[in-house]
Structure formats: C-alpha cells, structure tokens
Structure 1
Amino acid sequence: MKNFALIGAAGYIAPRHMKAIKETDNNLSVAYDINDSVGIIDSISPNSEFFTEFERFQEHAWRLKRSKITELDYISVCSPNHLHHSHIAAGLRLGCDVICEKPLVPTLEVLNELRTVEEETGKRVYNILQLRHHKAILDLKKEVDAAPKGKKFDVDLTYITSRGKWYLESWKGDPRKSFGVATNIGVHFFDMLHFIFGNLEKNELHYSDELKAAGYLEYEKARVPWFLSIDANDLPESVVGKQTTFRSISANGKQIEFSSGFTDLHTISYQEILAGRGFGIDDAEHCIRTVENIRDGNTVNAIDGYCHPFLTKFL
C-alpha cells in the first residue's frame, strides 16, 4: 500500500483521483485545498487529514517523512493550471513521485525546469493522459498503424462542453491561470491526436476568444480541423435540449465512438503509473508544444477545405 497526498481536493477532477487511489488499494493520507468544500472525502477516505493552508500541509508532509510507515510515496496534483509547476516541484522536493492533471505546465520552458527538479530529486512526474487508455482510441491507433505508408486520414475534432456564467468568473475564465480554452479543454485531445497520428507538421489558429477556439493541425498521418467551445450556443441542433456536451471525432468519415468508457480511465492511469508504465515529461512535451504555439500564434485565414464546418458562422 502506497501513501498518497492530494493537492486541490475541492476541484472538479479531484474525486476521480480519490477514487483511483482507493481502487488501486492505496491510502489517501492527507489532502489540501484552500476551499473546504471537500465532503466527498467522507465517502472515499474519511480518515484522511485535511488542510486549507499550504504551509500546514507541507509541514505535516515533512513530519510524515520521519517514519517509513507514514512517509508519502506520491502526491497527486489537481490544483488550478497555473499552480501545477509550483505544486509538482514541491512534491518532488518532498521526496515523492508526482501525478498531475493536464495540462502539466503551460510552456516548454517550464517543462524543462521540471526536468531539472526531477534530476535534482531523483523523483518522477507523471501526467494524466487518460485518452491513451481509451479502447476506441487504441483501436483507431491500430487501424492507423496498419495503414499504407504515406496515407493521411481526414479527421474532424469537435468538442463542446457547455459551461455557465460561473466559468468566466472562476480561475478557468482567466487566461493567466487556465491558459485559455484551447489549453484547458483541448490539451488531452491534442495529445491523443499525436499519440495516434504521429508528429505535428502544421499548426494554424483560425479563431480564438474566451469561449471557443478553432484551427487546423496536420500530423504525419492526418489532417485535422478542430473546434473547441464552452458555449452552449455552439451545440448542434440535433442535441439541443437533450445534452449539454457534444464530443465528436471522425476519421475518413467514420465516427469514432468514445462518449462512453471514461469512467475508469483515471484508475487505469494510476494502475499503469504504479506498474512503472506511466506517461512522464517526455510524453507530455508534444501536446504542451502544440498548445503553446496555439496561444502564441496569430490567427490566420482558414484554408479552403480545412476549415472546421462549425467555424463558418464566425468568419
């Protein structure tokens, strides 16, 4: 049994990490968040210590190091995006391996800083890239890998996840903290595309505002117009009034069904990490480069044929 700490316990994604820790038969020793709305802990790990000040959490973690029985083995980071680097570095320096939500960090410069801290501490950083474990994605990768050399798939990526007015008032609506829509809700999709279709050859940004972004990515084996949005007004008419999220990936006109199968992906990710097969800094580098270039790039006119169809209303 390994001892875990969790940073960001009141966040949206934290319960999936708590569940993964429990389902891999490990112990959530202590949790931290500046907010105290963490009642979910009662149903998963009611004996966990909890702190709302980072200094008290860190001091407690140092005390736990005095015994081999209580010392922390892993720290899971579920805090706001702009705090990932600081919390990962703190976990490494406490002598723990660290499991962090996406996006790992915003830029390649910060990623290289984490490489340095890994070298200094001898500990590892693992990124949750859960779509690499999804059966539909793995099946598509097998199909692509078996395709004739030089073949490029025509892929369409659409992801609309409706968010209320609270979103723009939270840290997620502040691009200094979330790094914008393309990074916050898109980074694991961009990782998935790289995982399936190889290295990125072209990266164009066609549209970007606080609610949505669109562009074109060309990989070794795919051409991908993409559209990401948190605006319910972008939902296709076929799902309006029925669901608040629309997730679609098609390859050469064939719809890839991956709406289901997400429930256990964090637990699978933890199982792989604990077995020594987790995704580290090198694995995360490609998608971090992709979103950094999207944020830093200038909007260009969409190329005919490679403009996402949902984008036409904005051009």
Structure 2
Amino acid sequence: MTKTLRVGIIGAGGIARGAHLPNYLKCGDKVEVVALCDVIKEKADQLAEEYNIPYVFSSYEEMLQKIEIDAVSVCTPNKVHYPATMAALEAGCHVLCEKPPAMTAKEAAEMAAAAENAGKILTYGFHFRHAPQVEVLKRFIDAGELGEIYAARVTAMRRRGIPGWGVFTNKELQGGGPLIDIGVHMLDTALYLMGYPEPDTVFGVTYQKLGTKKGVGLMGSWDWENFSVEDMARGMITFKNGASILLESAFAANVEKADEMNVNLMGDKGGADVFPLKIYQEKHDTLVDMTPTLLPKRDYHELELKRFVEACLDGNVPLSTSRQGVYLQQIINGLYESARKGEAVKLSKNVLV
C-alpha cells in the first residue's frame, strides 16, 4: 500500500460532512479523499465542491469500479451498510462503516467473514470508545482495579430528542429507533469495557407512546405522522460468563434530563460511572470515590478517523473489530425480536460464520 491512503466516501449526509470528511483532512498527506457518492447526486456534487473532491458518483458500485480506492467510509442509512460494505470489501478496500454494523446479525456475520477472507480491515463508527474517560477506565480495568465486572447499566435517554432530519424515524431504512441509533453507542461502550463477553439471552420491550404525537422537539420538529420506530426500548442481556446488562434507551421520554448517555459498571473489586468518570472502591476498610483531576479534551471522531487511517497504513488491529460487531448486532436484533414476541430470546450459538 502507498503511504497516502486513497479514500472514497459512500453517503453525503450529516455524518460524512460533520465527522468523516473534516477529520480525514486533518490527517494531512496520509489521506487523499478522491471520490464521493450519494443516491442524491446533487448533494454529493455540493459536498465534493466544498471539499475539493475530484470524483463524484450516484452509486457506490460505479465509484468502486471506476476509481482506485484503498479505503471506504460507509455513511449511509443502516439498510445500505451491508451491501455497500460487501461491495467495498470485494473491491479490495478497507472499510470504516458507521454504526450499527447492519440490519441483522446474519448480515454482520457475513460482513465479518468477507473482511477476514479478503484480509481487509472492517471497523465500525463507535466513537465513544475513543473518549478519554473510556481509555482511562480501560487501563484501570486491565490492571484489575474493578475485578470481575459482572453487572452493568446502559443509559441513552433523551427527553424530547427525536431527530428532525434524515431517516432516523424510518424503520424500513434504519431497522429501529433509539436502541439501534443511540443505545448502540452506550451498549458497545459497556461491552468493550467488559471485554465483549459472548451474549446468551435477551429480554426486551419497546414503546411507541410519544413519537407518533405532535410535540415539542429539542432536536427540531419530526414527522410524527410517519414515525415508524420505537421511541423507547428497555431490556436485559445475560452473558455466558454470568454477567448481565440492564439497558434503557429513548428518543423521547418524560424524564428530567434533556440528554443522558452513560455506562455504569459493577465489579467485585470496584465499580464505575463512565460519563463523567468516577470509580467506586473499598480500600483500607474505607469506601472511596475516585475522580480524575484532569482528562484530555479531544474530538472522538477525529481520533477514530486517525486510528482507522493508521490501521490501514500500518496493519494495526482497529479498536472496534468486525467480530465484536456481530455480537453487538445479535444483541440488538435479539432485543427487538424479544419485544415482538413478548418473551425472552435465546441467542444463536452459530451466528458467527
């Protein structure tokens, strides 16, 4: 591979404009963004002109066929993650795919297998892993400060935070609502800090109580008449090592805080809240709380893109792996299945291919 990574971006929406493109540019001469595609070509043309991208297409198939590219960012609605990623891997590209991995666990497993067979990197846009709070806590965990982490709580709650743009409320294109959009971030953070244990059984419930009604929107007005996803999801996940996670995620709920994203961990030697970081232990016959005095300020997306580029150029293992993505997708789909059935769901042992 050359020392300059030639990158193509699939999807010209908000995440491409706000996170991927500006942070690729911060990588300097290590990266050249050479192509951009979107089904709405006018949107791609506008973004390409703004960022001086030489080639613009209306389909990723054409882009991958006509332009020599080393790596691809997949910045599309969730439904397109699988076909776009598979096409990019087949074309010999490394892939950074935005979260969630896919629409189904089967798709995520096929994506992981395709990446391994092609010898290419497939990683996902879980930028909270790159937060300083997570990195510091991971060092404490790896040093045994929390002991065996056997329980966790995952919170991704908004009071009235239904996105008033994009396709976030379209179940056909996204696969779900807050669980698969914001809940997946905190769930991945918890799983990462717990060592990504193998899931066993899930029980989930979903609600659609506020999204289908006209109301106050803290993130713009939404199309409440065509709201087809859940506005709240709750669940419990158990793992084969005996650990468990309680999860709560909402776009809209009658709660105090406008926005709360957090992970709480409980181990047999200590516990922790991640955002903000606080560690709880018993030492020398005393219950103690530890809070970092100073944490570095950083752009999570910037570090995520920088590390992806370095992994592609240097052959490093990315922080988020394709196999972890399979477990995560299996949990998400299991929770939705459980909510539909009204009963706990035992997750398949054979999802990894």
TM range (shorter): 0.7 to 0.9
Q: Distance in 2 between matches of 1:49 and 1:108?
A: 33
* Structure 1, 143-152 or 265-274: larger mean CA deviation: 143-152
CA 1:258 to 1:148, structure 2 compared with 1: closer, same or farther past 3 Å? closer
Deviation per CA, 1:166-185: give whole Å up to 9, x if none: 46xx5322223212121222
Match of 2:250 among 214, 220, 229: 229
- Structure 2 contact 155–186 (Cα < 8 Å) conserved: no
The alignment status of 1:214 with 2:212, answered yes or no, reads no
- Structure 1 contact 194–286 (Cα < 8 Å) conserved: no
Match of 1:204 in 2: 203
Query: What code does the residue aligned with 1:49 have?
Result: Y
Give the share of equivalent positions with the same residue, in percent.
Answer: 18
Q: Distance in 2 between matches of 1:110 and 1:118?
A: 12
CA 1:215 to 1:6, structure 2 compared with 1: closer, same or farther past 3 Å? same
Q: TM-score, normalised by structure 2?
A: 0.69
Segments of 5+ residues of structure 1 without an aligned counterpart are: 65-70, 302-315
Match of 1:21 in 2: 24
CA 1:3 to 1:197, structure 2 compared with 1: closer, same or farther past 3 Å? same
Q: How many residues align?
A: 281
Partner of 1:234, secondary structure, is coil
1:73 Cα deviation from its structure 2 partner: 0.8
- The alignment yields a C-alpha RMSD, in angstroms, of 3.1
The alignment status of 1:131 with 2:152, answered yes or no, reads no
1:164 Cα deviation from its structure 2 partner: 4.4
Q: Distance in 1 between matches of 2:119 and 2:163?
A: 43
Q: Distance in 2 between matches of 1:166 and 1:58?
A: 30
Match of 1:264 among 299, 312, 316: 299
The alignment status of 1:30 with 2:35, answered yes or no, reads yes
Q: Distance in 2 between matches of 1:258 and 1:46?
A: 39
The alignment status of 1:291 with 2:332, answered yes or no, reads yes
1:17 Cα deviation from its structure 2 partner: 0.7
1:189 Cα deviation from its structure 2 partner: 1.7
1:186 Cα deviation from its structure 2 partner: 1.7
Match of 1:178 in 2: 174
Query: What code does the residue aligned with 1:98 have?
Result: V
* Structure 1, 117-126 or 250-259: larger mean CA deviation: 250-259
Q: Distance in 1 between matches of 2:242 and 2:123?
A: 27
1:7 Cα deviation from its structure 2 partner: 0.6
Deviation per CA, 1:249-282: give whole Å up to 9, x if none: 3446864325998962222222222232313311
Match of 2:321 among 262, 268, 280: 280
Q: TM-score, normalised by structure 1?
A: 0.76
Q: Distance in 2 between matches of 1:123 and 1:61?
A: 15
Q: Distance in 2 between matches of 1:134 and 1:165?
A: 23
Deviation per CA, 1:189-231: give whole Å up to 9, x if none: 2121111124245532144432111122345586533211111
- Structure 1 contact 24–267 (Cα < 8 Å) conserved: no
- Divergent runs of 4+, >6 A: 259-262
1:106 Cα deviation from its structure 2 partner: 2.5
- Structure 1 contact 160–229 (Cα < 8 Å) conserved: yes
Query: What code does the residue aligned with 2:27 have?
Result: T
